[in-house]
Copies of this chain bind each other. A is one copy, B any other.
Amino acid sequence: MAVARAARRTTATMSGVPTVALPTNVGTLVVQAPHEKGTVSSIAQLFTVLGATVLDSAHFSDPVSRRLFQRIQFDLGLGPDRDALERELGALASQQALQWRVCYGDRRKRVGILVSKQEHCLYDLLIRHRAGELACDIAVIVSNHADAASVAAHFNVPFHHVPVTQATKVQAELAAAAVLESAGVDLVVLARYMQILSPALVARFPHRIINVHHSFLPAFVGGNAYRQAHEKGVKMIGATSHYVTAELDQGPIIEQATIRCAHRDTVDDLVRKGRDLEKQVLAAAVRWHLEDRVQVHDGKTVVFD
């Protein structure tokens, strides 16, 4: 029963995995648990017993929360079946309060992108995807403006125009959510989407919506961050990618980057410089998420990059 539950959970919550030409029986195990003496070796031993090869592993013991975070990439080869691994993990989990998930390289995650008028992040993700940087299928693009339609067409991605007005905000969001769900999306990426999502929509994709904010949070929350930065006279601007939670601009930070600026930079210059940062931190966050490198605990992320 534990087995069945685990298997279902995996199917439900993440329907694919990093890959880029990984051999077909390669998978990734992600574990979070209270840090007990034997946990690390129990997990390692499990792979030995099954005859699997550990290809790569990363491990973090948080001295503050006393929790253990692990990411193990393994190859089951021709040997054990996937059910056997999940059975063993289920058994371990029931003894040691382990949270875990396993993803395999032959199932790619499906991504939905939400975008407004600014197209730089959208283009960036699509070009990286085409270059093989992002191990996923881009399932659908949704926008509250029609502009991105030709971009979507150029990259052969289905496009849905869902206009949003003050009056139709609630229905529009429901429509967008319906598109995302019917596309079987595992991850939602807000590529400069200028609408605030409702808590209800956020709750449907827990730690599976990634947003990019145009400042080095927690500085300059809210809108017009570049104007705020210009008025303050800062000498660096930044950008932040984070998981979306119910509280605006407060979700767990995945990646940040900064660049120098100077008195000569107008707000337009900051916007231009910032676009490069936004692309960079959003693409990194998406890539790491797709490769199961990000875990969340207590409002913060552990990123095994």
Which residues of A come within 8 Å of B, CB atoms? 37-38, 40-45, 47-48, 51-64, 69, 119-120, 123, 127, 131, 133, 150, 154, 216-220, 232-236, 238, 240, 252-258, 262-264, 266, 272, 275-276, 280, 299-303
Selected from B60, B64, B154, B253, the residue in CB contact (under 8 A) with A234 is: B253
CB proximity of A302 to chain B, nearest CB, Å: 4
* Distance of A233 Cα from B123 Cα, bound (Å): 29
Copies of this chain, how many?
Answer: 4
Q: Which 9 A-B pairs have the closest CB atoms?
A: A233-B300, A44-B44, A41-B48, A219-B219, A41-B44, A235-B256, A263-B302, A40-B54, A258-B258
Report Cα–Cα, A194/B2, bound state, in Å: 53
Contact yes or no, B131 A127, CB < 8 A: no
Q: Using CB atoms, name the residue of chain B closest to A124.
A: B127
| Residues A234 and B256 in contact in the complex (CB < 8 Å), given A45-B45, A300-B263 | yes
Contact call A48/B54, Cβ cutoff below 8 A: no
Complex formed: what's the CA distance from A258 to B123 in Å?
A: 23
Closest residue on chain B to residue A122 by CB atoms? B127
Asked if A218 and B219 make an inter-chain contact with CB atoms under 8 angstroms apart, the answer reads yes
What chain B residues lie within 8 Å of A262 (beta carbons)? 303
Given contacts A56-B61, A150-B154, 13 further A-B contacts (CB under 8 A): A40-B47, A40-B54, A40-B57, A41-B47, A54-B59, A57-B59, A58-B59, A59-B59, A119-B127, A216-B238, A236-B257, A263-B301, A263-B302
Are A272's CB and B48's CB within 8 A? Answer: no
Beta-carbon contact of A253 and B233 below 8 Å? yes
